[in-house]
Amino acid sequence: MRAYLARDVVFDLEENEVGIRCAGAPVREVGGRVSAAISVASAIPFMPEERLEEIAPLVRAAADDISRELGWSR
């Protein structure tokens, strides 16, 4: 969990649904409060852990873009 917190991206490695993996990131409002989240999910054959690592920065960047539109800044 500390690693997820440091990266500001989380992985679901079938904890929610067997056979499904996803990468997610929080969306923040102007005050920094988390108000939503985005994720990219797929079945395991299409989302091995290596792919999760590849898309994590893209998910984080998309969440940051949305957060900035809501008035948040890092």
The residue type of 28 is: R
Q: Which domains does the chain have, with CATH numbers?
A: 2-69 (3.30.450.40)
For the stretch 31-40, what's the b/e string if a residue is b when 16 or more beta carbons lie within 10 angstroms of its beta carbon?
Answer: eeeeeeeeeb
Average pLDDT over residues 37-46: 96
Answer yes or no: are the C-beta atoms of 41 and 20 closer than 8 Å: yes
The angle formed by the CA atoms of residues 74, 70 and 1, to the nearest 5 degrees, is 50
Average pLDDT over residues 7-35: 94
State the pLDDT at residue 74: 78
For the beta carbon of residue 6, count every other beta carbon within 10 angstroms: 8
State the pLDDT at residue 73: 87
Cα(35)–Cα(29) distance, integer angstroms? 6
